């Protein structure tokens, strides 16, 4: 199933995700952090849905588990995994941009030092000529 189909199906079902803050819509998932040691996070939500899917496989003589529950939980898990993948890719892109910016800044500093060094190697006469030209 394509990603657009996942979200289309979720919206048609009005799919909600159980959390410590109540039931959340798909849109609200984008505001949740990937990890959070003491609170709501996508990682914990995905693990809980995975556990719920595994529990559906257990036999119960008291509670009826429908195939609808399984389908909805599979959909929940796929959506959570997709959102996590997108957020991880975005985080990696931000880290790469930061690293490039730091390297560029370092190279600019080195270039400035080299230019200063080149100026210091000029003879007295060359320095005076350049001053007069300014």
Q: What percent of the chain has pLDDT over 70?
A: 91
**Contact predicate 72/13, CB 8 Å:** yes
Residue 69's pLDDT is what?
83
pLDDT of residue 106 exceeding 90, the answer is yes
Q: What is the pTM of this model?
A: 0.76
Q: Each residue of 71-91: b (16+ CB within 10 Å) or e?
A: ebbebbbbbbeebbeebeeee
Q: Residue 27: what are its φ and ψ, rounded to 5°?
A: -60, -40
Per-residue pLDDT reduced to its tens digit, 42-59 = 999 999 999 988 877 666
54-58, 106-110, 115-119: segment of lowest average pLDDT: 54-58
Residue 68's pLDDT is what?
73
Q: Structure tokens of 23? A: 């039931």
pLDDT band for position 85 (cuts 50, 70, 90): very high
| Residue whose entry in the numeric block shows the structure tokens 């007295």 | 124
Residue 49's pLDDT is what?
94
By three-state DSSP, how is residue 112 classified? helix
């Amino acid at each position: 199933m394509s990603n657009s189909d996942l979200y289309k199906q979720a919206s048609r079902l009005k799919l909600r995700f159980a959390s410590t803050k109540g039931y959340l819509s798909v849109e609200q998932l984008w505001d949740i952090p990937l990890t959070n040691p003491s609170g709501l996070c996508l990682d914990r939500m995905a693990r809980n849905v995975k556990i719920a899917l595994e529990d559906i496989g257990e036999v119960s003589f008291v509670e009826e588990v429908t195939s609808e529950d399984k389908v909805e939980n599979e959909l929940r898990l796929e959506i959570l995994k997709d959102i996590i993948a997108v957020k991880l890719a975005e985080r990696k892109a931000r880290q790469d941009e930061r690293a490039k910016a730091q390297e560029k800044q370092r190279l600019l500093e080195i270039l400035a030092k080299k230019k200063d060094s080149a100026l210091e190697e000029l003879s007295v006469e060359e320095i005076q000529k350049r001053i007069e030209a300014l």
